[in-house]
Amino acid sequence: MLAAVGGRDAMLERDYFSDSYSAARMRFRQAVQASGGRLTSHRNPATCRSESLGPDGLTTDVGMIGPAEAKRILVAQSATHGVEGFAGSGIEVGWLAMGMAGELPKDTALLLIHALNPHGFAMLSRVNENNVDLNRNFVDHGRPYPANPGYVELRNAICPRTWTPEALKAADARMDAYAKVHGAAALRAATSSGQYVDPEGVFHGGRKPTWSNHTLDQILRHHAGPASAVAIIDLHTGLGPSGYGEIMNGHQAGTDGYARVKDWFGGEATSNEEGSSSSAPITGDTLVGGLRALPRAKVTGITLEYGTFPLSEILRTIRADNWLRIHGELDSELGRSIKAEIRRAFYPDTDQWKRSVIARSVEVYRRMLAGLCRD
């Protein structure tokens, strides 16, 4: 157990986490209200048949704790990649349940965005209702999209028409051959950096801003627009050692935001540009949206990425979920098996993993808050 925070006894870490999107939403709302925060909701127009949602349907919920016109705001958002919201929701609920909002200095607020991608959360998928990866969607859609010729070459191997051992063996052989010629990094970029040519494929960035894109912009402008300094934590799972929260510097090298993350976290902060991150280089992530929505604020953003299983297993589950969406049947035995596996891949659901997740999140929360209030 964690030590008591804010004069309250900490619950067991597992009590912060939920078994479904609906339960997570209810627990988050209750936690915000119990903390004296202000709660607002944004309803996603998409429909969902994975679970009973009640009259509210699919929502992105927002909790604001602290002054409405705070000069400094710490933001955390969960479920950018839907199914990863199990962990992100648990972190947000945990912070509130432990009374960590009581650590906010004067003129500082906490803004919690719960389930940015509620459809993916409810449907146990990383992508949204239109198969868009939100962390590739925040590009300038009025300009030419980044090219990914490797994906074009491998698209039929990444998602073969049939999901059988024989088909997967042949598909994996093609991908292995590509890696031998171009290198492992090139294969990883081809599969996961993002692509804008295949709306049905993996890591698709979309051809226009999504509902979640517009909603994040609206939330940040409304709640954080008056602030002069904003720190953003985007909560993710899947990459890196199991249970470890990697601090990924979301800014481009040479920018003030990049320098602040280095100052706040030193060499512990990883970067694609330095080659130290467990993530492939990507374009159009949510931090781009944050910078765009808050042009007058000093914005400092990180991704807090919790490892689960080896990368090969993670990519296999993403490919399987993509195949299920295009070719499979959700209600079949194979469909249910794929959904159970992607849930496990991004949410191991063990007490040890949850303890690690919560402990690291508390540490990063406090360090982000300290940096925010120092600069």
Helices (H), ranges, the chain: 21-34, 85-97, 118-122, 149-158, 165-182, 184-192, 211-224, 256-265, 286-293, 311-326, 333-346, 351-374
Distance CA 233, CA 221 (A): 17
Tens of pLDDT along the chain (375 residues) come to 344 444 344 456 778 999 999 999 999 999 999 999 999 999 999 987 766 676 788 999 999 999 999 999 999 999 999 999 999 999 999 999 999 999 999 999 999 999 999 999 999 999 999 999 999 999 999 999 999 999 999 999 999 999 999 999 999 999 999 999 999 999 999 999 999 999 999 999 999 999 999 999 999 999 999 999 999 999 999 999 999 999 999 999 999 999 999 999 999 999 988 888 899 889 999 999 999 999 999 999 999 999 999 999 999 999 999 999 999 999 999 999 999 999 999 999 999 999 999 999 999 999 999 999 987
DSSP 255-306: SHHHHHHHHHHGGGEE-TTTT--SSPP-SS-HHHHHHHH-TTSEEEEEEEEE
Angle of the 149-158 helix axis to the 184-192 helix axis, nearest 10: 80
Q: Is 252 exposed, middle or buried (0-12, 13-18, 19+ CB in 10 A)?
A: exposed
Q: Is 359 exposed, middle or buried (0-12, 13-18, 19+ CB in 10 A)?
A: middle
Contacts of 31 (CB under 8 A, 6+ apart): 63, 92, 93, 96, 97
Residue 69 DSSP symbol = T
Residues 4-55: pLDDT tens digits?
A: 444 344 456 778 999 999 999 999 999 999 999 999 999 999 987 766 676 7
Contacts of 180 (CB under 8 A, 6+ apart): none
Distance CA 136, CA 282 (A): 7
Give the pTM.
Answer: 0.95
Find tokens 């051992």 and name the residue.
165
Q: Which CATH superfamily is domain 13-141+209-313+340-374 in?
A: Zn peptidases (3.40.630.10)
